[in-house]
Structure 1
């Protein structure tokens, strides 16, 4: 989502797949701790306000690790970049479009096990499967209630933001950014699909409660089947709030048949545990172009698990600069130990 106002399984071999331009020590020290569970390793502004083959490198809304270990980075302006895993520099870009050739509001990204790309668009919303060269191969069904009004109960620009393929590659999950009409504010729906042959079919749906005033811009699967959930908001004159949670869906209610989620209807929400508030991370010398609680912060919107080893996850985050002079395209490398 272009935020303006308030508002698959990873292997240990990928642990070194992403080396960022360090703005701090190469190895985490105690001073790099954001929380007891999360440490900031480094950040990079190297791609801020740059172009590649005539395409603006920014508006980045999602990240994924490709099958060859390189990085896929999705712009919400219908561009899909491949980034070198060491330098972060773009090595290719593919334009995306809908069936009529129109631009997408592309927000969520998964690289499937065959190398094809699953991409969400907030416009309808939709999930399409693309070949590596940008051809549409498939389109997944979407529940009517999650479609943008008047077709459904969702609000434009507040729909499918996050996309994750759970371990084993059989279950795909998309997260709504904000609540749909009829549901209580702060309760968002996570929709799943199950793989049936070469396609995905609609499956269970779950409910997740965000912190007050925050939405869900991204989710990522952990090797044990849980979800990392980014929660984010923006307050003019104050800046961004970005928190990282781990969520467990195992005992949550399937809400696909529940018309209205009130929070007092006996529905078991996904359990969540705070890993870190990014405002509590060390700044490592970062600067901000507008007021922020911590100059490290910006409009963080993309998240990928790039490695897992010795009980720790290596994470890569990216901010969406909205092609705005007072925002920054910034990559963050963190490590996290899950409870």
Structure 2
């Protein structure tokens, strides 16, 4: 065989192996082996406003594992106010016994369709179609290692939420079409401000994506309170943006009451596919005390879509008849033995442990706030 043919064959084999590794990293659990729970391996924290390669680390609201390179991507929800919209690549060192270190390797900046970096609101040319990115979730494509990320937009200035596809370095490739019901409006319809595209996950076979709202659309009902729950839409789309299904996920009431005149909320902060019909859902509540300091209540549920109504054609859930997705509690982080639970916003499958079990990692968004922490938690999946 000619040298050129050998090189071509070798390249094809390497590419196929990389795809196989990536698909294995997000492969589904068999139906006869349901998730029984999670065991905390350990915690690492990142220093407040840690400097790295000319940027300030913080606001880490999304995380995903890149199996081909054995690294992790972590995006910041900095709206280009401190540094341009960006993500980091890092190495997490853990096994079933301990979580020992977090090492940052590189920083990469997301770009707009014209190749420029995302501006902040003060410098954005909104009349020319520029976006101000509020990136809340990021996923590694299991087919080729490229990246998909979601932004909440900005209702106050008429910017719709979006999902975009980028190469491994963050350079823009395309925008995923998403249903018009999620657009922002000056009326009480569509997405609420800062409560839209918070959650994203590839399906276990890598052929489609799950997209989760943080909170209810205006037309779907009120937000969660300490007395009442709420409902959010979780949508499955193919890679061209065609809706394959949409389900109503019931949000729990806020777990405690805020101080008089203070705020409290509960919403979906991330999702993660388990198999074709089950999705892990992080519910994250923040409750303010008299000094304005927040207590976070974070719970991980498993959503079951089998038997639930496909609500894609129901324009408003308030007053409608439908069957919501079922859910079961997998973990209450308040009972996991942590010294504190902060604003957990990211979740990802990790590599298998030496005992063959899956690992799972969570990350918190510190909002660049000295009263919060960036914590990374590693778990063994039981």
What interval of TM-score do these two structures reach, taking the shorter chain for normalisation? Answer: 0.7 to 0.9
Q: Which has the higher contact order (CA 8 A, sep 6+)?
A: 1
| CA RMSD, Structure 1 to Structure 2 (Å) | 2.2
1:326 aligns with 2:371: yes
Are the aligned partners of 2:166 and 2:172 in contact in 1 as well (CA < 8 Å)?
yes
Q: Tell me the SS of whatever aligns to 1:174.
A: strand
Question: What is the CA–CA distance in structure 2 between the aligned matches of 1:224 and 1:11, rounded to whole Å?
Answer: 15
Kept after mapping to 2: 8 A contact 1:10/1:307: no
Query: Is the CA contact 2:232–2:249 (under 8 Å) kept in the aligned structure 1?
Result: yes
Further displaced range: 87-96 or 316-325: 87-96
| More helix, by proportion | 2
Aligned partners of 1:301, 1:104: CA distance in 2, in Å?
17
| Offset at residue 164 of structure 1 (A) | 0.2
> Which region of structure 1 is more displaced relative to structure 2, 58-67 or 245-254?
245-254
- Which whole-Å CA distance do the structure 2 matches of 1:271 and 1:155 have between them? 25
Q: C-alpha separation between the residues in 2 aligned to 1:326 and 1:10?
A: 39
Residue 170 (structure 1) aligned to one of 200, 203, 207: 207
Cα 1:329–1:76 shift into 2, 3 Å: same
1:83–1:92 CA contact under 8 A, matched in 2: yes
Distance 2:333 2:75 in 1: 22
| Aligned with residue 244 of structure 2, among 196, 203, 206 | 203
DSSP 3-state at the match of 2:181: helix
Residue 136 (structure 1) aligns with:
172
> If the length of structure 2 is used for normalisation, what is the TM-score?
0.72
Alignment check: 8 A CA contact 2:44 2:102 kept: no
1:110 aligns with 2:154: no
TM-score (normalizing by structure 1):
0.80
Return closer, same or farther for 1:246/1:69 CA change in 2, 3 Å cut-off: same
1:83 paired to 2:90: yes
8 Å CA contact retained: 1:302, 1:319? yes
Structure 2 residue runs of 5 or longer lacking an equivalent are: 1-21, 28-35, 79-84, 94-100, 120-131, 154-159, 223-229, 255-265
Question: Cα distance, 1:204 vs. partner?
Answer: 1.8
Structure 2: distance between partners of 1:121 and 1:98 = 13
Match of 2:157 in 1: none
Q: Contact between 2:48 and 2:370, CA under 8 Å: does it hold in 1?
A: no
Flag structure 1 segments of 5+ consecutive residues without an equivalent.
1-7, 14-35, 287-295
Q: Which residue of 2 aligns with 1:98?
A: 112
Q: Distance in 2 between matches of 1:303 and 1:12?
A: 13
Shift of 1:62: 0.7
SS at match of 1:218: strand
Question: Which of the numbers 255, 278, 298 marks the counterpart of 2:333?
Answer: 278
Alignment partners' CA distance in 2, 1:210 and 1:64 = 24
- Equivalence map 1:1-339=2 (5 Å): 9-11=23-25, 37-66=37-66, 67-77=68-78, 78-86=85-93, 87-99=101-113, 101-102=118-119, 103-112=132-141, 113-123=143-153, 124-150=160-186, 153-185=190-222, 186-195=230-239, 199-213=240-254, 214-223=266-275, 225-237=277-289, 239-262=295-318, 265-283=320-338, 286=339, 296-308=340-352, 312-337=357-382
Spell out, residue by residue over 1:173-227, the C-alpha distance to the aligned partner (whole angstroms, 9 max, x if none). 11000000111231100122113xxx44333211101101320010011256521
Give 1:99 shift: 3.7
Q: Aligned partners of 1:98 and 1:156: how far apart in 2?
A: 22
**Higher radius of gyration, 1 or 2:** 2
Q: Distance in 1 between matches of 2:234 and 2:329?
A: 18
Q: Is the 8 A contact 1:166 1:225 kept in 2?
A: no
- SS of residue paired to 1:279: helix
Question: By how many angstroms is 1:308 displaced?
Answer: 4.8
CA distance 1:12–1:121, shift in 2 (3 Å): closer
